[in-house]
Amino acid sequence: MTGSSVTDQSLSAVSTVPPVRIPVTVVIAARNEAAGIAQCIGSVGWAAEIIVAENGSSDATTSVASGAGAIVMHDTSGTIGAQRNSAIARASHEWILVIDADERGSLALRDAVGEVIAQSIGGGGYGAYRIPRRNFFLGREIRHGGWDRDRPVRLFRATLRYNDSKVHEHVVAPGVVGVLRTPLLHYPYMSLDQYFEKFDRYSRWWAEQQYQRGRRTSVTELFLKPPARFLKMYIVQLGILDGAHGLILAGLAAASVFAKYIRLWEQQRKGACLS
């Protein structure tokens, strides 16, 4: 099976700014994203307002984002959700579109967002919408293994906010949530170095958060959960159909689960020693 080209997909997603912009505020949380932030901003250049919530970058993220036409605000809040909330509070428009620095919009997404906003003026539609993502890993689109079900809430009214979770943060959207058909393009891992950097950070955050919430683990979970994740992703969710990329992703997912639970186990030991 031949995978899609990252370069081709990225270039097709980047849009030129049309004469009339969509009345929506795009919010992008970013830290050390100088390499790709301009392309991210360019891919949603049809939005009337773009706010980049920058969090202590040591590279040129701020200057590149500003040069690409975004409003840059500096926010060192502890969570990505809090950074986004700060940007939402500054938004000039009634509707918010959240994208990540490793995601790209398109002209088709512009049209879909415009339709939602036009519909809302007449009192129709929903207050929040899920947007599907086409996910790419090491240059190939991943169509199975659970990645095909990825539909986070990304378009919503500016009255809504994110929760305070360090990992898996989400918009608190009461009531029925709509779903757009037009996807975002998502390139989370262009290299294994990027994967392992996030692997380390998120497994640590997850263990800290779970321990604070009172969760504990056992040797049984350490033994069973990693292989269970592999089998679910590779066999049940058909990751096997993604070839070598699907096998690698399932293996990395199992390793990630092991890292999360062993770090939670470590938190327990430290807590027991202090008690």
**Stated pTM of the model:** 0.85
User: What's the pLDDT at 28?
Assistant: 97
- The residue from 189, 220, 239 where one domain ends is 189
Kindly state whether residues 175 and 228 are assigned to the same domain: no
Kindly state whether residues 211 and 185 are assigned to the same domain: no
Q: Apex CA 39: angle with CA 34 and CA 44, to 5°?
A: 125
Residue 23 lies in a domain: yes
Whether the per-residue pLDDT at 229 is higher than 60: the answer is yes
Q: Which two three-digit tokens encode residue 221?
A: 């979970």
User: What's the pLDDT at 79?
Assistant: 87
Residue 27 lies in a domain: yes
Kindly state whether residues 264 and 225 are assigned to the same domain: yes
Report the relative pairing of strands 153-157 and 95-100 from DSSP bridges: antiparallel
Kindly state whether residues 45 and 131 are assigned to the same domain: yes
Radius of gyration of the CA atoms of the chain, in A: 20
Kindly state whether residues 99 and 231 are assigned to the same domain: no
Residue 85 lies in a domain: yes
Residue 1 lies in a domain: no
Q: Please choose, from the candidates 184, 110, 185, the residue with its C-alpha nearest in 3D space to the C-alpha of residue 153.
A: 184
pLDDT digits (tens, 9 = 90+) for 1-27: 334 333 344 444 444 444 579 999 999
Tally of domains in the chain: 2
Kindly state whether residues 60 and 41 are assigned to the same domain: yes
Mean pLDDT of 39-47: 97
